[in-house]
Amino acid sequence: FYPSLRLDPQGSDVQLGLFLIGSALDSTDGQFFDLVRDESGAVETLAGESDQFWLPRGSRVYFYQTRYPFEDGPDTLHGDVFITFIPWGDEYDVVSIYADPTGGTSTTGSVLETDGIFWRQRNAIEVADGWASPNLGDVVPVAVGVYYNETENLSFALSLFIDEQTIRLVQTELDINALDSTGVDFDDSPELRDDLDGPAPNYTADFSVGRLAVRDIASPTESTRIAVSLLEPEGTHAVFLGTYDGTVMNYARVPGLTDPVIEVLSTGLLMTRKANGYRIVTAAGNEVWSVRSSSLLFTGEREHEGRMYLYFSSGYWGREDGNQYRFTRVNRIRTPQP
């Protein structure tokens, strides 16, 4: 259960959109739902549900939730978007799952499959003569992720590449055709972020496409963080943290960390996923907080009344009035400090 990024924990007069994601042996499926609130702001009823969507499963499928801005009269509103990276061959296909929780009726959402992200980005940048490598095949993909630029109110699909021993980031603005609800697509003009270039880290294994988590990359500052989690042959992860030194990004391996980083928090700490829960660690790999629970799902960090909170959801089956229901709880804690 992923609550809407527009969630107001104290209640709101707008709908609360959400995603319910499940998995089978060979597929990932799910649905969109809307919860409608009454005049007091309390959740009143489940307004509706969309057609079920289905995604093929693969190794190292990466899910990211982000916001999508769209125009509605004089105001800019937000929809909720899942961006899913699914491996096929040497590429990663991108599937967007889009829902609009801002309307007056239940959303139906939509699913859109796009081209392979690496092929599309590398070729577009090559036309602009942005790569240093003379052979486009030598530009090696390292990691994929997404980023929401709060200042510009834009969401991007991100890729890291190695280009002649330099780590380089490409961002592609997510685009939507809201008129026919075809989902979220790529903008045709990916941007090579030369201001985030840095030397490739010292890594002895073969680079495999890993998970990317970023913070504050709208313009590089001391708070800019890029966390790269690479799968190693034994099934653990090597995690490299890139920080900005005023000139370039410098990537250093986080000592002792073998779990993937799924989010760089507002305090600069790293949220990591374990098989039976979560850990928060510093850039030096020191544990600050942890929870052991196979039923909790971390769904992101959000601001409420000027304070940052970590949100978790948990689901369970129960009976009420003789009927069986699926219950979901949303929990939060204040974001820990270093």
CA separation for the pair 202, 146 (Å, rounded): 25
| Residues in the chain with pLDDT values less than 50 | 73-74, 178-179
CB atoms within 10 A of CB 291: 15
Residue 106 pLDDT: 55
Q: Is 285 exposed, middle or buried (0-12, 13-18, 19+ CB in 10 A)?
A: middle
Residue 71 pLDDT: 60
Name every residue whose Cβ is closer than 8 Å to that of residue 6 and which is 6 or more positions away in sequence.
12, 14, 16, 17, 67, 78, 80, 101, 102
Strand partners, 141: 161
| CA dihedral for 2, 58, 239, 140, sign (positive or negative) | negative
Residue 179 pLDDT: 46
| CA dihedral for 180, 181, 182, 185, sign (positive or negative) | positive
Q: What are phi and psi of 179, to 5 degrees?
A: -65, -40
CB atoms within 10 A of CB 60: 15
Strand partners, 64: 83
CA separation for the pair 144, 164 (Å, rounded): 19
Determine the 3-state secondary structure of 121 from DSSP: helix
Residue 90 pLDDT: 81
Q: Are 114 and 176 in contact (CB under 8 A)?
A: no
CB atoms within 10 A of CB 224: 20
Residue 259 pLDDT: 96
CA separation for the pair 90, 319 (Å, rounded): 47
Rg (the chain; Cα; Å): 20
First to last CA, the chain: 29
Residue 74 pLDDT: 47
CB atoms within 10 A of CB 140: 15
Determine the 3-state secondary structure of 216 from DSSP: coil
pTM: 0.88
